Structure 1
Amino acid sequence: MQEQVSDHLLGSLVDGRYLVRSRLAGGGMSIVYLATDKRLDRDVALKVLHPHLANDQNFLDRLQREARAAASLSHPHVVGVLDQGQDGHIAYIVMEYIKGHTLRDVLNEKTALPPRLAFALIDPVIEGLAAAHAAGLIHRDVKPENVLIAEDGRIKVGDFGLARAVTATTSTGALIGTVAYLAPELVLGKAADARSDIYSAGIMLYEMLTGEQPYAGDVPIQVAYQHVNAAVPPPSLAVPGLATDVDELVQWCTAKDPDGRPVDGAALLSELRHIRTTLSDAQLDINPPAAKTLAAGSEGRKDEAGATAIVAPFPAEPTQPLERIGRPTEVISGQRNPTTVLPPSGYSPGATTLQGRLPQDRTTPAGPPASKRDIKRMARQEEKDRSRAAATPSRSLREGNPRRRAVIWTIVVIVLAILATAAGWFFGMGPGSPGTIPDTKNKTVAEAQQLLRTAGFQSDPKDVFDDEVTAGFAVGTEPASGQVVRKFQPVSLFVSKGPQLFPLAGMTGLTLDQASNALGTAGMTLGKVTAQYDDSVPSGLVISQSPVQDTPVRHGTPVGFVVSKGPQPLPVPDVRGMTQQAAVKAISDTGLTAKIAPDPVNDKKVPAGAVVSQTPANGTLARGEAVTLTLSKGPKLVHVPNFIGKQADAARKALESLGFDVKINNILGGFFGTVRDQNPVESDAPEGSQVTLTVV
Structure 2
Amino acid sequence: MQDVPHDPLIGSTVDNRYLVLSKVARGGMSTVYLATDIRLNRNIALKILHPHLAMDDAFIERLKREAWSAASLSHPHVVQIHDHGVSTEHAYLVLEYIHGQTLRDLINARGPMTPRQALQLLDPIVEGLAAAHGAGLVHRDVKPENVLLDTNNWVKIGDFGLSRAVTTTTNTAPLMGTVGYIAPELVTGSGGDARSDIYSAGIILYELLTGSQPFEGDVSFAVAMAHVRDEVPRPSAAIPGLPAEMDELVSYMCAKDPDNRPANGSALLEDLRHIRSTLTPAELDSGGAFAEGTGAGFAGQDGAECQLADSEYPTTVLDRGYDHDATSAQASSRSTSADMTTLIPTHTHPTSVLPGGRALYVEEPAEPAPLSKQQKRTEAKALAKSAAIPVKKLGPAHPRRRAAIWITVVAVLAVLLAYAGWFLALGPGALTTVPEVHNKTVAQAQASLHAEGFDKISTTDVYDESVAVGLVVNTDPANGASQRRFLGVTLMVSKGPVMYSVPDLGGKTLADAKVSLVNAHLDVGPVTEAYDAKVPAGTVVSQDPASGLEFRGGTKINLVVSKGPQPIAVPSVVGKTSGDAQAAIKAVGLLAVVAPEQVNSATVPAGAIVAQSPESGELPPGSSITLTVSKGPKMVMVPDVVGKQVGAATAQLKALGFDVQVKNLLGGFFGTVRFQDPQGVNAPEGSTVTLQVI
TM band (smaller chain)? 0.3 to 0.5
TM-score of the two chains, using structure 1 as the length reference:
0.47
Q: Which has the higher contact order (CA 8 A, sep 6+)?
A: 1
